[in-house]
Amino acid sequence: MLALRIATLVSGFCLAAGLPAAAAAQCGSPVPAAGDADGDTVLDPLDNCINVRNAGQSDVDADGCGDCCDGDYDQTGNTTIADFNTLKACFGMLTGSPGPPDDPTCTEGDHDSTGFIGIGDFVMFKFEFGGPPGPSAFPLPPACF
């Protein structure tokens, strides 16, 4: 019964968030009783970044993967040197500042949601480097897994 309720909540969230119907259907599949692996008070089937605390669930680029575990600014499915160059271009800036094409307002690089792109964001980014962003309960391929 709990699995059905969580699946309904997840599906409703996905549709409310404006995800495509196919993604919402995938989100709404039955799930086992949920835990909270990262301790951020958001149950894993509702969490856009399952392994990193992010109670606010910020997802600036709306790809289904929370900002704190999404260093893939160019949406290629992997966090690469191109993404590092984007972070480097925004380093030391406030969110909303003019940035490079893959983060034109220097908001995606704010992994720790402080309003400033700094060392905390770099530390979070380095854990993503070389791999896909995520994991997330709401993956939208190829951006978040």
Each residue's pLDDT tens digit, 36-68: 999 999 999 999 999 999 999 999 998 899 999
Report the alpha-carbon distance of residue 145 to residue 141 in Å, rounded: 7
Q: What is the pLDDT of residue 34?
A: 72
pTM (predicted TM-score): 0.72
Alpha helices per DSSP H over 1-145: 2-16, 21-27, 81-90, 119-128
Closest Cα partner for 23 from 33, 32, 14, 10? 14
As beta bridge partners, residue 94 has 116
**Cβ contacts of 124 within 8 Å, gap of 6 or more:** 52, 68, 69, 71, 111, 112
| Domain 49-145 in this protein, CATH class | mainly alpha
